[in-house]
């Protein structure tokens, strides 16, 4: 057998020490990528499926545990790849059962991942970037600014960290939403690869219908997502351009009308479910006329409307814009009632995990980097 490429070799540096090997994260590879790599080394395609099974179903951390692979292949894989999991820097569990992980990445940066129980189901909120560049004024992640994109493997590894032990069953009743840190359409290549890995039947085999990608509303990204069969959530958050631009600077580039056209096209061309998200800000975007306009947009695009009462930043941190207020329950109910009366399919996303800073829009890593505090349970 030939070995897996050139990249696994160590080279002496001018000062005599051995330089770091250029080892790749296996979790970055789709099944096609891995099959191609193995093919180059004259290995059969079924080996790639076996490796996927070991990695994503058995969830072993090392190649030497992949018992049905020949020793030579295991050695060759170990010299070329690693199965890179993040370091759990902190783990917290909310009174309502919501769990949040702060995960340290190889370069010392950190992200957050949130698991929200919901009856017999659970929703895992995945991050797609470290920080975010979009500057939505109500969102805590925006205060971190953008640090970098996550790789496909760093996205997938969030799930592997959350699933304890081997077995496909651990993923039963689990929905995946790209609603953690970052803007998925700004890291579309990696998000697309991560989705291919997560849906691969040789591994976890998630149905695309159990995956939802949330976006600030970038038409090109929405068009790409329509081809993948996943659900789409668009953060509208306002029904007029002037207010939307104040809340979400992206609206200067992609106006509400552009976003609604893209949404309608998505509805016409994709099997994925369409949702409009609307962060409800007390006294700002919660008027009756706004509810009526929003209901009309939902009906037009055949989208359900998800109302998310604003979650202020956790721990008393400053939001990007002063004066934002969480609406009262009465205001939320009134707004939702108008939507329902106007024929919208409406859901109110009551905050989960607000006591641990894990509710929508509260994700912002403030841990020292790199740190070793509060290991996970
Ligand atoms: N960048 C993507 C995904 C991350 S945000 C997007 O914008 O859609 C996921 C959802 O949380 C979005 O609908 C966003 O509008 C909402 N959100 C952000 N900050 C919030 C906050 N402070 N309170 C409530 N919802 C918030």
> Which of 277, 285, 327 has most ligand 1 atoms within 8 Å of its beta carbon, as the pocket-test mutant?
277
112 is catalytic: yes
List per-residue pLDDT tens for the chain, 377 residues long.
456 764 444 443 333 333 345 799 999 999 999 999 999 999 999 999 999 999 999 999 999 999 999 999 999 999 999 999 999 999 999 998 999 999 999 999 999 999 999 888 999 999 999 999 999 999 999 999 999 999 999 999 999 999 976 777 778 899 999 999 999 999 999 999 999 999 999 999 999 999 999 999 999 999 999 999 999 999 999 999 999 999 999 999 999 999 999 999 999 999 999 999 999 999 999 999 999 999 999 999 999 999 999 998 887 777 678 889 999 999 999 999 999 999 999 999 887 787 887 888 778 776 444 433 333 32
Ligand 1 atom index nearest CA of 237: 15
Ligand 1 atom index nearest CA of 306: 13
Report the distance separating Cα 76 and Cα 178, nearest Å.
34
**Model confidence, pTM:** 0.91
Q: What is the pLDDT of residue 5?
A: 60
| Cα 373 versus chain centre, distance | 24
Q: What is the pLDDT of residue 366?
A: 60
Q: How many angstroms separate the alpha carbon of residue 235 from the centre of ligand 1? A: 7
Residue bearing the CA closest to ligand 1, atom 17: 361
Report the distance separating Cα 71 and Cα 114, nearest Å.
38
Q: How many angstroms separate the alpha carbon of residue 173 from the centre of ligand 1? A: 23
Which one is catalytic: 43, 112, 183, 290?
112
- Other C-beta atoms lying within 10 Å of the C-beta of residue 377: 9
Beta carbon of 138 within 6 Å of any ligand 1 atom: yes
- Other C-beta atoms lying within 10 Å of the C-beta of residue 167: 12
Ligand 1 atom index nearest CA of 181: 4
Contact in structure between 204 and 170 (CB atoms under 8 Å): no
Q: What is the pLDDT of residue 2?
A: 53
Contact in structure between 48 and 104 (CB atoms under 8 Å): no
Beta carbon of 361 within 6 Å of any ligand 1 atom: yes
Q: What is the pLDDT of residue 359?
A: 80
Beta carbon of 179 within 6 Å of any ligand 1 atom: yes
User: What does the chain come to in residues?
Assistant: 377
**In the chain, what are the domains?**
24-82 (1.10.150.530), 87-356 (3.20.20.70)
Beta carbon of 215 within 6 Å of any ligand 1 atom: yes
**Residue 307: CA atoms inside 13 Å, Cβ hemisphere, count?**
28
Ligand 1 atom index nearest CA of 233: 8
Which one is catalytic: 125, 132, 139, 360?
360
Q: How many angstroms separate the alpha carbon of residue 158 from the centre of ligand 1? A: 19
Beta carbon of 237 within 6 Å of any ligand 1 atom: yes
Q: How many angstroms separate the alpha carbon of residue 18 from the centre of ligand 1? A: 46
Q: What is the 3-state secondary structure (H, E, C) of 228-285?
A: CCCEEEEECCCCCHHHHHHHCHHHHCCCHHHHHHHHHHHHHHCCCCEEEEEEECCCCC
Closest CA to 123 of 357, 364, 353, 369: 353
Q: How many angstroms separate the alpha carbon of residue 371 from the centre of ligand 1? A: 27
Q: How many angstroms separate the alpha carbon of residue 278 from the centre of ligand 1? A: 9
Q: Which two tokens stand for residue 33?
A: 């990528």
Beta carbon of 310 within 6 Å of any ligand 1 atom: yes
Q: How many angstroms separate the alpha carbon of residue 170 from the centre of ligand 1? A: 27
125 is catalytic: no
């Amino acid at each position: 057998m030939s070995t897996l490429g050139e990249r696994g070799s160590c080279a002496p540096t001018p000062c005599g020490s051995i330089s770091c090997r250029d080892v790749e994260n296996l979790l970055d590879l789709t099944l096609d990528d891995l099959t191609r790599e193995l093919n180059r080394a004259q290995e059969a395609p079924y080996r790639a499926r076996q490796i996927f099974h070991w990695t994503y179903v058995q969830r072993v951390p090392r190649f030497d545990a992949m018992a049905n692979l020949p020793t030579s292949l295991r050695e060759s894989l170990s010299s070329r790849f690693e199965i890179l999991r993040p370091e759990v820097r902190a783990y917290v569990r909310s009174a309502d059962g919501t769990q949040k992980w702060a995960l340290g990445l190889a370069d010392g940066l950190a992200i957050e991942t949130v698991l929200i129980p919901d009856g017999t189901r659970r929703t895992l909120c995945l991050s797609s970037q470290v920080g975010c560049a979009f500057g939505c004024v109500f969102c805590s992640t925006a205060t971190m600014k953008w640090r970098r994109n996550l790789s496909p493997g760093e996205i997938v590894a969030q799930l592997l960290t959350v699933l304890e032990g081997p077995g496909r069953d651990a993923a039963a009743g689990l929905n995946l939403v790209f609603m953690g840190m970052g803007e998925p359409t700004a890291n579309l290549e990696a998000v697309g690869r991560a989705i291919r890995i997560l849906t691969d039947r040789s591994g976890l085999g998630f149905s695309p219908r159990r995956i939802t990608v949330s976006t600030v509303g970038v038409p090109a990204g929405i068009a790409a997502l329509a081809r993948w069969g996943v659900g789409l959530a668009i953060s509208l958050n306002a029904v007029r351009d002037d207010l939307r631009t104040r809340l979400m600077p992206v609206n200067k580039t992609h106006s509400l009308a552009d976003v609604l056209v893209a949404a309608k096209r998505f509805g016409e061309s994709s099997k994925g479910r369409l949702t409009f998200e609307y962060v409800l800000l007390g006294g700002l975007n919660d008027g009756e006329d706004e509810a009526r306009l929003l209901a009309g947009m939902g009906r037009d695009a055949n989208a359900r409307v998800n109302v998310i009462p604003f979650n202020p930043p956790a721990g008393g941190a400053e939001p990007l814009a002063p004066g934002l207020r969480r609406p009262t329950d009465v205001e939320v109910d009134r707004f939702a009632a108008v939507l329902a009366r106007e024929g919208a399919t409406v859901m109110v996303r009551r905050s989960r995990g607000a006591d641990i800073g894990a509710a929508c829009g509260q994700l912002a890593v403030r841990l020292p980097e790199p740190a070793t505090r509060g290991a996970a349970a």
